[in-house]
Amino acid sequence: MDWSIQEIARIAGTTSRTLRHYDGIGLLKPSRTGHNGYRYYNQAALVQLQRILLLRGLGLGLPVISQVLSDQTDAAKALAGHLEWLKQEQDRLARQIASVTQTIEAVKGGGEIMAEDMFNGFDHTQYKDEVEERWGKDAYARGDSWWRGMSADEKAAWKQRSQKLGEDWIAAATGGIAPDSAEAQSIAKRHVEWLTGIPGTPTADAAGASGGTSGGNSHVKEYVTGLGEMYVADPRFARNYGGAEGAAFVRDALKAYAEQNL
């Protein structure tokens, strides 16, 4: 069974123009083209489109998506990893919905608002325990204060910078270059600079103590290499780099950078 381009555009909530663009850049080829020139898509093509839309939802650009799809050819395995992330998001959103619903009912009915329940699901603190366990309560408190003190535009800019860094890591990991290559090491340098911008991290503390550089500090070296290991071990972080293989590339690149520069 296959579906016409118009049917797929309607079902997937996209446009025929978008699907033709995906075809033109080789991202999603139709399974066949009819004698009238219409494109038709079979089940395999629909699975491919679902993966594309999921990755677009994460903010990845089309070139990076193309590389991810080429690198992760096992669609079922890739979708299973994405499903786990979606389940986590589902839980977080369900808690937000319940929290906001409770607030609305309290406001309308003149009831008492329970502050402890109002922000359930607003998880800017979701890694609080992990951060405090790994790097201490002071590290979390300083980082949390820094984030809360940002304006909406500053937060958006930070998220954009983080997203671009992740995209560049994925592109490098799937581009056939070595982790210790000049290109990968340039991204590793940016990664450490990105970490240095977060108050409470060992990189930020070392930079402040040395007037702008985090070099020559064994604690910083351990921190950077340890983060690389965590990216591989924890699927939540590995997803930022295209999965376990991408995270392993980031780990190796950060380790090489740390050994040479920290």
CA dist., res. 172 & res. 181, Å (int): 10
- Domains annotated for the chain, with CATH where assigned, are 3-71 (1.10.1660.10), 126-261 (no CATH)
**pLDDT interval class at 114 (50, 70, 90):** low
Task: Please classify residue 198 by burial: count the beta carbons closer than 10 Å to its beta carbon, then call 0-12 exposed, 13-18 middle and 19+ buried.
Answer: middle
pLDDT at site 233: 77
pLDDT in tens, 26-42: 999 999 998 888 899 99
pLDDT at site 257: 95
**Residue 200's Cα: distance from chain center in Å?**
22
Q: Which of 39-48, 91-100, 152-161 has the lowest mean pLDDT?
A: 91-100
Q: Which residues pair with 144 in a beta bridge?
A: none
DSSP assignment of 82-108, as one string?
A: HHHHHHHHHHHHHHHHHHHHHHHHHHH
| Cβ neighbours for 191, distance < 8 A, ≥ 6 positions apart | 165, 169, 250, 254, 257
Judge if pTM exceeds 0.75: no
Q: 144-180 burial string, b = 16+ CB within 10 Å, else e?
A: beeeeeeeeeeeeebeeeeeebbbbbbbbbbeeeebe
pLDDT at site 16: 93
* Cβ–Cβ under 8 Å, residues 116 and 102: no
Residue 262 has pLDDT above 70, yes or no: yes
